[in-house]
Amino acid sequence: MEPLEFSKFFVQILQTFSARLSPLKECRKGDGLVKKRFGHPIKWRNKPRIYWKWPIIDTFDKVDMRKKYLQVNAHSFHSNQMGNLLIPYNIIIDVQIEYAVINPLVIYDEYGFAEGEEAYTSLVNNTVQEIISNIIKKYGIKLDYNILESCLKENVQNYNLQPLSFDEIKLYDNPFSERYKKRHNIVPKQIESQECISISNIVITSFDKNISIRTTV
């Protein structure tokens, strides 16, 4: 191992041990902190302040909960019967999504999580792809810009969720100890994907419906 690579590796080891040994972690505005015990997520908080944990056994993962933007492309192939001719069409749609994470525990429930990864973009992408796919299936080649825009606005109403209050956040607490759960009569709230991501806007950046020319070899 080269001296520079060894130095970087040594610094990473020190940072890891320092993070595990430190009993405190700051949560800044716009972030959420997920506390894990023995690698198991037990609760999350987003109020800007210093939070306490048990050294070694507890760790914190940081999640960016500010509004973000994501570009998504959807492509579909349809055909239209005109007399004896079968006319193939390409439908290509590009959209920009405005979204935010309102419950980061969905990341663990759906995809697993490592700090720094933006796994929730996969959830947003899959959600919007499904919305657009359902719209295309419903209208086929009759789909135009105005219909698409109207349908997207209608769907956004179902996904534009408000941030959770502190009392609502506590409902998702899932202490590692079964004894603790029984003693405090805690029944963690079931995590639903649709309740954890807020999509506030979907803007069409490109809509193209054209006759597809294909060559079969």
Q: Give 119-156 pLDDT, tens digit per residue.
A: 678 888 888 999 998 998 888 888 899 999 999 999 99
Cα distances (angstroms) measured from residue 136 to each of 50, 72, 90, 123, 150: 48, 15, 11, 20, 13
CA distance 23 to 133: 47
CA distance 123 to 195: 12
Q: How many helices (H) and strands (E) does the chain have?
A: 6, 8
User: Which is nearest to 102 in space by CA: 164, 37, 146, 191?
Assistant: 164
Task: Enumerate the domain spans of the chain.
Answer: 3-64, 68-211
Question: For residues 133, 139, 140 and 145, what is the CA-based torsion angle, rounded to 10 degrees?
Answer: -80
CA distance 53 to 89: 58
Cα distances (angstroms) measured from residue 118 to each of 40, 65, 113, 121, 166: 19, 11, 8, 6, 24
Are the beta carbons of 131 and 92 closer than 8 angstroms?
no
Q: What mean pLDDT is predicted for residues 182-198? A: 71
Rama region for 185: left / alpha / beta (φ>0; ψ in -120 to 50; rest): left
183: phi then psi, degrees, rounded to nearest 5 = -65, -40
pTM above 0.85, yes or no: no
Task: Grade residue 116 by pLDDT with cuts at 50, 70 and 90.
Answer: very low
Residue 82: strand pairing partners:
85
Task: Grade residue 115 by pLDDT with cuts at 50, 70 and 90.
Answer: very low
Q: What mean pLDDT is predicted for residues 42-51? A: 90
Average confidence score pLDDT of the chain? 79
Q: What mean pLDDT is predicted for residues 191-207? A: 86
| pLDDT surpassing 90 at residue 2 | no
Instruction: Report which residue type is found at 41.
Output: P
Residue 94: strand pairing partners:
73, 206
Rama region for 192: left / alpha / beta (φ>0; ψ in -120 to 50; rest): beta
For residue 194 the two structure tokens come to 């649709």
Burial class (CB in 10 A: 0-12, 13-18, 19+), 216: exposed
